[in-house]
Amino acid sequence: MTPSNDQPIDRIFAVIGAIVRARRALSLAEIGAAAGLPAPTVHRMVGNLEERGLLKRAIGSKKLVLPGPKLIELSSQVLEAAVVADEPHAILERLAAQIQEHCQIGTIANGEVLYIDAVQVRRASGLQLEQGRSAPLHCTSIGKLYLASLGDEALDAWLDAHPLVELAPNTITERDAFAAHIREVRKHGWAFSNEEYGQGVIGCAVVIPLSTQRDFLCIGMSGPSARVPFEQLPDLVEPLRTAAAQIAAALGDTGG
């Protein structure tokens, strides 16, 4: 049902919804046409939303894009609230108990991986990716999955803007090698980190299949390489995929 736009809250959602549906930067005139609102109303609403960090201007343009910094923060909090609800968290707990390693759910916020839920097993050691912690994209399994979801041009643009900083002995820092690595992630549908973020720590992750593709969620595990040989990571992919499908269903999204 199309909103009536009779109330201020309806107009706010009409403006935000117009940009969300477009999935590109829009001018004020384009927002007004898509939202069915007069120009003065759009100008006032956009000014208020931009001032509050819910919208922002595209780089080098007066056009508006989503999300602004406050909306990123809010959307991350909404995702976290949904994920740590009883059933998704219980699924993560069962996965951790099954594979006996640290497990986490992450998303992307402010250009980094943000871990929004995590379960530790009693004997876990090494790098602990706690809820609320953030991490770089290029040396984490979840970050690599996000980069693999980008098109070639978007990936090239990301590589142009982000140096591949060495954080551990195995961090991939050479651009061509990293691009080839991301192509392999796309091919296989899962990603790994082999002592690239922390020495002695390995991990792998898969995408949680959400149909809208607007909320990027992944589930992963991490553990010390002394206990989990790198060669055994492929054996953990199927349990991760099973848990990912269960979480998608628990969130009311079966990926269809």
**In the predicted model, what is the mean pLDDT of residues 66-93?**
69
Q: What does the DSSP 8-state code read for residue 230?
A: G
**In the predicted model, what is the mean pLDDT of residues 186-190?**
96
pTM: 0.68
Q: Which amino acid is at 157?
A: A
In terms of domains, do 159 and 206 share one?
yes
**229 and 238 Cβ atoms separated by less than 8 Å:** no
In terms of domains, do 58 and 81 share one?
no
Judged against a pLDDT cut of 70, whether residue 71 lies above it is answered with: no
Longest Cα separation, the chain: 64
CA–CA gap between residue 197 and residue 171 (Å, rounded): 7
Output the CA torsion 31→33→35→40 (10° steps).
Answer: 70
> Among 97-111, 120-134, 143-157, 233-247, whose mean pLDDT is lowest?
120-134
The count of domains in the chain is 2
Structure-block tokens of residue 43: 């100008």
Q: Is residue 158 part of a domain?
A: yes
**In the predicted model, what is the mean pLDDT of residues 191-203?**
95
| Residue 68 pLDDT | 56
> Among 17-26, 77-86, 183-192, 216-225, whose mean pLDDT is lowest?
77-86
For the chain, give the number of residues. Answer: 256
In terms of domains, do 115 and 220 share one?
yes
Structure-block tokens of residue 168: 């551990």
Cα-based distances in Å from 106 to 55, 144, 197: 24, 12, 15
**104 and 145 Cβ atoms separated by less than 8 Å:** no
In terms of domains, do 43 and 166 share one?
no
**In the predicted model, what is the mean pLDDT of residues 37-65?**
82
Torsion sign across C-alpha atoms 31, 35, 41, 44? negative
Q: What is the CATH number of the domain that holds 34?
A: 1.10.10.10
**194 and 230 Cβ atoms separated by less than 8 Å:** yes
Domain that includes residue 240, residue range: 72-250
| Residue 192 pLDDT | 97
- Write down which residue in 66, 91, 108 finishes a domain: 66
| Residue 239 pLDDT | 97
In terms of domains, do 21 and 127 share one?
no
| Residue 173 pLDDT | 97
Averaged pLDDT of the chain? 85
Torsion sign across C-alpha atoms 175, 172, 164, 178? positive
**5 and 12 Cβ atoms separated by less than 8 Å:** no
CA–CA gap between residue 194 and residue 202 (Å, rounded): 5
Judged against a pLDDT cut of 70, whether residue 93 lies above it is answered with: yes
Q: Is residue 166 part of a domain?
A: yes
In terms of domains, do 79 and 205 share one?
yes
Structure-block tokens of residue 148: 């693999």
